[in-house]
């Protein structure tokens, strides 16, 4: 078996693709889902994934920060992008009322349009949420019956929030935030009761470098990388009171089920 990192920002210039990709494979991270955050970056992600179809998939969507640019044409563009075989989810989409780079109204419109698109295309959603939990839950509940599932990307909330997402049959994406003994305290407690059949693992590289990871700036320039996913998994397994093999099998099975990538044989490698 090997690992799948469900969230890597390979369109970020801080990640030099070839060496980062090689280190990921060396760490037994054999499949990576690239995060699409706007039309241009979703296109870039697709082009990259098409060169490595056995190792890369991607999402296509518009992040709430870019919601001010979302219009009717955007829907058509996303629909066209989603026709690519490597696109496995709509997103990164959702709400972020913390920074409000786009207004709450613009964000809500863009999010709902992407939920509708995901329903129409039969694709899961790759979700972002910050300081907008109740509004996000309300919209997700509205489309729950038509949605083909989704994952709460980079979940950092508490047990109560996690359980409400689980009640909507969503998966929970865990990043290196879980390794932060201070800021990640609520998440660490929540993970203890996270069911194995709902856990997904991700780095959100180059962001969220795990606390406690050895300094390796000569190699990674201080960035997070998909090669560090097993480090995150060790802490998740410890908190969930399970062994690494069980977590690896569960996260692999969940990834295949949600994103419909079971035909990608490299995930079965090992």
Q: Is residue 268, in this structure, part of any structural domain at all?
A: no
In DSSP terms, 58 is beta-bridged to: 34, 87
- Indicate which CATH number applies to the domain containing 121: 3.20.20.140
Question: What CA–CA distance (Å, rounded) separates 91 from 186?
Answer: 25
Q: Is residue 182, in this structure, part of any structural domain at all?
A: yes
Question: What CA–CA distance (Å, rounded) separates 58 from 60?
Answer: 7
Q: Is residue 267, in this structure, part of any structural domain at all?
A: no
Question: What CA–CA distance (Å, rounded) separates 48 from 64?
Answer: 23
Contact between 60 and 81 under an 8 Å Cβ cutoff? The reply is yes
Q: Is residue 138, in this structure, part of any structural domain at all?
A: yes
Structural domains counted in the chain? 1
Residues flagged as binding site for a divalent metal cation: 92, 128, 153, 204
Q: Is residue 177, in this structure, part of any structural domain at all?
A: yes
Contact between 56 and 48 under an 8 Å Cβ cutoff? The reply is yes
Domain holding 55, by residue range, is 3-262
Residues flagged as binding site: 92, 128, 153, 204
Q: Is residue 134, in this structure, part of any structural domain at all?
A: yes
pLDDT at 266 over 60: no
Q: Per-residue pLDDT tens for 45-57?
A: 999 999 999 999 9
Q: Is residue 19, in this structure, part of any structural domain at all?
A: yes
Q: Per-residue pLDDT tens for 51-86?
A: 999 999 999 999 999 999 999 999 999 999 999 999
Q: Per-residue pLDDT tens for 198-240?
A: 999 999 999 999 999 988 888 999 999 999 999 999 999 999 9
Tokens, residue 93 = 């989409």
């Amino acid at each position: 078996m090997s690992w799948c990192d469900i969230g890597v920002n390979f369109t970020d210039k801080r990640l030099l693709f070839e060496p980062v990709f090689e280190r990921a494979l060396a760490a037994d991270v054999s499949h990576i889902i690239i995060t699409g955050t706007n039309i241009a970056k979703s296109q870039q992600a697709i082009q990259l994934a098409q060169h490595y179809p056995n190792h890369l998939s991607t999402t296509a969507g518009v992040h709430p920060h870019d919601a001010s640019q979302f219009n009717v044409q955007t829907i058509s563009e996303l629909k066209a992008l989603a026709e690519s075989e490597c696109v496995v989810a709509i997103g990164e989409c959702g709400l972020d009322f913390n920074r409000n780079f786009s207004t709450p109204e613009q964000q809500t419109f863009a999010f709902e349009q992407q939920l509708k698109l995901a329903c129409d295309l039969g694709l899961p959603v790759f979700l972002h949420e910050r300081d907008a939990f109740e509004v996000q839950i309300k919209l997700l509940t509205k489309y729950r019956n038509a949605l083909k599932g989704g994952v709460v990307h980079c979940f950092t909330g508490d047990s109560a929030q996690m359980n409400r997402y689980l009640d909507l049959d969503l998966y929970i994406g865990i990043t290196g935030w879980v390794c932060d003994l201070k800021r990640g305290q609520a998440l660490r407690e929540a993970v203890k009761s996270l069911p194995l059949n709902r856990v997904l693992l991700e780095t959100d590289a180059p962001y969220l470098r795990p606390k406690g990871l050895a300094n390796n700036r000569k190699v990674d320039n201080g960035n997070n990388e998909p090669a560090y996913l097993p480090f995150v998994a060790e802490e998740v397994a410890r908190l969930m009171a399970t062994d690494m093999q069980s977590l690896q099998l569960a996260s692999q099975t969940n990834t295949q089920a949600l994103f419909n990538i079971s035909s990608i044989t490299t995930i079965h490698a090992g």
